[in-house]
Structures are given as structure tokens and as C-alpha cells.
């Protein structure tokens, strides 16, 4: 699920100043040089009807709204941050995994709590919208899809107060007629290059060869555009700024320190961690074993791999060495439970985080706020 609050700063202002409700509201970043110099940070949907939008000069917005009972308010970022924090706390509790993507956007993995039912996910989204409205008096647009990039494109499909569900089997139809600019990270420059190649829809884009896209946009952006045009994305939803790790722990059939009993379990755990990494398109830089002893003390040993990997064999061989070293140097230790952990996770070679392109786009397309 991807959730994007509607005209976020403007909604915050309307809630702080209820007399603004119903009027066109323009949130301004005044530069201070002259009374009207500066740019529009955002405008509510009433103001957008007049053509007012983020990034245009305030003077131009005033012209567009000449004779209209509109409000021009200065941006108050610390206040929007407070509102955002409260909203993100609500959303976090409604997800299995959570990733805040900006002050007013977040990804929610709801796969487990909905048992991957798209109908249950729709109900969950309605419940979230309801909760945001009752608790914070804000509306949001939500997209639901089989992966992050489809959910993000879907959340932009029906704004404001929208809800768009794209089931896996509907992905090709959903994408086919959308303009290429709907792909997050495809900015003005990329769009122009594609127009020169006679490509305007995502369907046309998906018929280009990966080689051409990589030649035109470079390995990273080209590869990303190619995958996205086919609806492919396997980035995990992860809390930003926190190290992500995968681990698997099992209870042994009986307490033991005998290699012939320990190693087969280790193999299963290593392969399970490897599957999890591959499923998310990730590789790990280091592998650890977790040994839970009969007195329930927890011991661990870790090592860096020569290069990041998601291969079961590599994870298993590291884990084997670690457990053997551990048992040798702890002759009294008897194991009750055993775990394998992969950490220092990185994207598969050639893949780049969608968020990187979004950040770049935000930098080049912002109104200088």
C-alpha cells in the first residue's frame, strides 16, 4: 500500500485555521525581497482549479486568483512535521512493515495481515482513511498493488481522497495507457528523450529492449525504467535509516552440541535466509549464527562475506565455520536453539532503489523550498 496525503501543507493550514475551509488556499514560501516574491509550496484543490500549483511564483498565483476570496498563508514547516509524525505513528500500527517515504507519503506492507487478499487490503485502506479523517481530519489517496512501485503509481491515480487497487493480473492493463511520466523518477528530461524515441505510453516503453534503455539512460536508471514498465519491482518495504536484516531460528529436536545434529539444521536455516534475500532482491554483506544455550543465554558470532551474496551455499558455509569455531572455543556449550542471520543488506547488482530516483526528482523539480 502507498499512501499520499492530499495537498498536505494546505490541509494542515485549513485545520489550524478553520475559517480557510472551502476557500482556495495557497501555501507560500516568501523570499522576503518584495512583498510577493517567492514561490508556491502547495495549493489546496480549490486553488488548483484556477491553475495554481507547487513551484509557480506567488505573484502568478495572485494573478490567477484575482477577484477570488482566496487565502495566501506562509509555510510553517515545524507544524506540518508535528502533524506528519502523528499520522505516521497511526500508519505504522496498521502495517506489517512500514516505510515513511517523505513528510506526507508512506509505504505499508499489509501482506501478512490481509493474507495477501486484495479485497481485505481494500478494507484495510478504507479503515485507515477513516482513522486519519476522524483523528486528524485529513484525507489521503491510497494505492494498493503487488509491489511498491505499482502501489505508488496507483496512489496517484485518483486524487484527492482516492483509493485504487491494482491486482497482479491487472498490472499490464493498468500500466499500458499511462504516460511514461507516471513512472516515479521519470522526470522532464527522461520524458523528453522518450518523446524523441516516439515513446509516450508505458506500453510503448515496455516494448523497448533493455539494451536501448540502458544505452539511453545508463545502467541504473535504464534498468529501473525497464523493470517498472513491466510492473516488476521487488524492493522490500523497510523502515528508512535502520539496518535491515533477515534471520531464521529453529529449536533443535534435542539439546545437543554434536555436529551431525547441528549442521543439517544450519543448512535448512541458511537456505531459508537465502530464499528470503532472493525474494526481496537483496544480498547480505555479513552472516551470523545465533546460539541459544540450554540455560537460555544467547551467543552470536558473525563474519563479513568476501562480497555481498544471497547464495544459500555461501551463507551456509559461513554459518558452518562460525558454529564450528563457536563450539570449539566453548567446550561446555550445549545448544537448545540455533539461528542464522543475514545483515548489511544491499540491492542486487544493477538495481537501484526507487527512492533514489524520487529524491533526485524532488531535488530538480522542487519549488526551492
Which residues of the chain form contacts with Ca ion (CB under 5 A)?
A: 4-5, 8, 104
* Interacting positions 22-51 with ligand TTP (CB under 6 A): 41-42
Select 137 or 300, whichever has its Cβ closest to ligand TTP.
137
Q: Which residue(s) pair with 108 in the sheet?
A: 98
100 contributes a contact to ligand TTP by CB under 6 A: no
Q: How far is the CB of 231 from ligand TTP (least distance, A)?
A: 23
Q: How far is the CB of 88 from Ca ion (least distance, A)?
A: 13
3 contributes a contact to ligand TTP by CB under 6 A: no
- Dist. CA 94–CA 351, nearest whole Å: 29
- Residue 226's binding partner out of Ca ion, ligand TTP, none, with CB under 5 to 8 Å set by partner kind: none
**Which among 105, 136, 235, 316 is annotated as catalytic?**
105
Residue 313 grid coordinates: 551455499
Residue 246 grid coordinates: 533477515
Identified binder of ligand TTP from the candidate list 104, 136, 233, 235, rule CB under 6 A: 104
Q: How far is the CB of 247 from ligand TTP (least distance, A)?
A: 35
Q: How far is the CB of 39 from ligand TTP (least distance, A)?
A: 8
15 contributes a contact to ligand TTP by CB under 6 A: no
Q: What is the DSSP letter of 67?
A: T
Instruction: Classify residue 15 by burial, with Cβ atoms within 10 Å: 0-12, 13-18, 19+.
Output: middle
Residue 21 grid coordinates: 475551509
Identified binder of ligand TTP from the candidate list 8, 174, 217, 357, rule CB under 6 A: 8
Identified binder of ligand TTP from the candidate list 3, 4, 26, 213, rule CB under 6 A: 4
Annotation marks residue 239 as catalytic: no
Residue 141 grid coordinates: 489517496
Sheet order of strands, 105-109 included: 97-102, 105-109, 2-5, 140-144, 163-165
Q: Where are the alpha helices (DSSP H) in the chain?
A: 8-16, 45-48, 58-64, 77-93, 118-136, 148-155, 171-176, 188-196, 202-206, 210-229, 259-279, 312-329, 354-365
Indicate the pairing of strand 25-30 with strand 38-43: antiparallel
343 contributes a contact to ligand TTP by CB under 6 A: no
- Residue 109's binding partner out of Ca ion, ligand TTP, none, with CB under 5 to 8 Å set by partner kind: none
99 contributes a contact to ligand TTP by CB under 6 A: no
Select 7 or 147, whichever has its Cβ closest to ligand TTP.
7
Select 48 or 257, whichever has its Cβ closest to ligand TTP.
48
Identified binder of ligand TTP from the candidate list 3, 5, 213, 221, rule CB under 6 A: 5
| CA 335 to centroid of chain Cα atoms | 39
- Residue 252's binding partner out of ligand TTP, Ca ion, none, with CB under 5 to 8 Å set by partner kind: none
Identified binder of ligand TTP from the candidate list 36, 60, 92, 160, rule CB under 6 A: 160
Per-residue DSSP letters for 161-204? S-EEE--GGGHHHHHHTSBGGGSTT--HHHHHHHHHTT--BHHH
Phi, psi of 236 (to 5 degrees): -75, 155
- Stretch of 4-12, 123-131, 261-269, 314-322 contacting ligand TTP, by CB under 6 A: 4-12
Sheet order of strands, 335-347 included: 246-256, 335-347, 282-293, 298-309
- Stretch of 3-11, 168-176, 253-261, 315-323 contacting ligand TTP, by CB under 6 A: 3-11
**In contact, 160 and 45? CB cutoff 8 Å:** yes
**Which amino acids are annotated catalytic?**
105
Q: Which residues bind ligand TTP (CB under 6 A)?
A: 4-9, 41-42, 54-55, 104, 159-160, 366-367, 369
Amino acid at each position: 500500500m502507498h499512501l499520499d496525503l492530499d495537498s498536505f501543507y494546505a490541509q494542515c493550514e485549513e485545520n489550524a485555521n478553520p475559517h480557510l475551509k472551502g476557500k482556495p488556499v495557497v501555501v507560500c514560501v516568501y523570499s522576503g525581497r518584495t512583498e510577493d516574491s517567492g514561490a508556491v509550496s502547495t495549493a489546496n484543490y480549490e486553488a488548483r482549479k484556477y491553475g495554481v500549483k507547487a513551484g509557480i511564483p506567488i505573484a502568478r498565483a495572485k494573478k490567477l486568483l484575482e477577484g477570488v476570496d482566496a487565502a495566501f498563508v506562509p509555510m510553517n514547516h515545524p507544524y506540518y512535521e508535528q502533524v506528519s509524525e502523528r499520522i505516521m505513528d497511526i500508519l505504522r500500527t496498521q502495517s506489517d512493515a512500514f516505510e515513511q517515504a517523505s513528510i506526507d507519503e508512506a509505504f505499508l506492507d499489509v501482506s501478512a495481515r490481509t493474507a495477501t487478499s486484495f479485497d481485505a487490503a481494500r478494507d484495510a485502506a478504507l479503515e485507515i482513511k477513516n482513522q486519519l479523517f476522524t483523528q486528524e481530519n485529513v484525507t489521503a489517496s491510497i494505492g494498493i498493488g503487488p509491489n511498491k512501485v505499482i502501489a505508488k503509481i496507483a496512489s496517484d491515480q485518483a486524487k484527492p481522497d482516492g483509493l485504487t487497487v491494482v491486482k497482479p493480473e491487472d498490472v499490464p492493463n493498468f500500466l499500458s495507457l499511462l504516460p511514461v511520466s507516471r513512472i516515479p523518477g521519470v522526470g522532464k528530461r527522461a520524458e523528453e528523450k522518450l518523446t524523441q524515441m516516439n515513446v509516450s505510453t508505458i506500453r510503448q516503453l515496455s516494448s523497448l529492449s533493455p539494451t536501448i534503455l540502458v544505452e539511453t539512460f545508463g545502467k541504473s536508471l535504464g534498468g529501473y525504467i525497464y523493470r517498472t514498465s513491466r510492473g516488476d519491482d521487488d524492493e522490500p518495504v523497510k523502515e528508512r535509516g535502520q539496518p535491515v536484516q533477515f534471520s531464521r531460528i529453529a529449536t533443535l529436536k534435542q539439546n545437543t552440541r554434536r555436529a551431525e545434529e547441528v549442521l543439517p539444521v544450519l543448512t535448512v536455516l541458511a537456505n531459508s535466509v537465502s530464499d528470503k534475500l532472493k525474494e526481496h532482491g537483496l544480498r547480505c554483506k555479513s552472516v551470523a549464527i545465533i546460539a541459544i544455550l540450554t540455560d537460555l543465554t544467547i551467543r552470536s558470532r558473525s563474519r563479513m562475506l568476501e562480497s555481498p551474496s544471497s547464495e544459500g551455499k555461501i551463507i551456509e558455509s559461513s554459518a558452518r565455520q562460525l558454529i564450528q569455531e563457536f563450539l570449539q572455543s566453548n567446550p561446555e556449550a550445549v545448544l537448545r536453539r540455533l539461528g542464522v542471520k543475514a545483515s548489511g543488506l544491499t540491492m542486487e547488482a544493477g538495481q537501484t532503489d526507487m527512492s533514489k530516483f524520487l529524491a533526485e526528482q524532488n531535488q530538480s523539480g522542487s519549488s526551492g523550498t
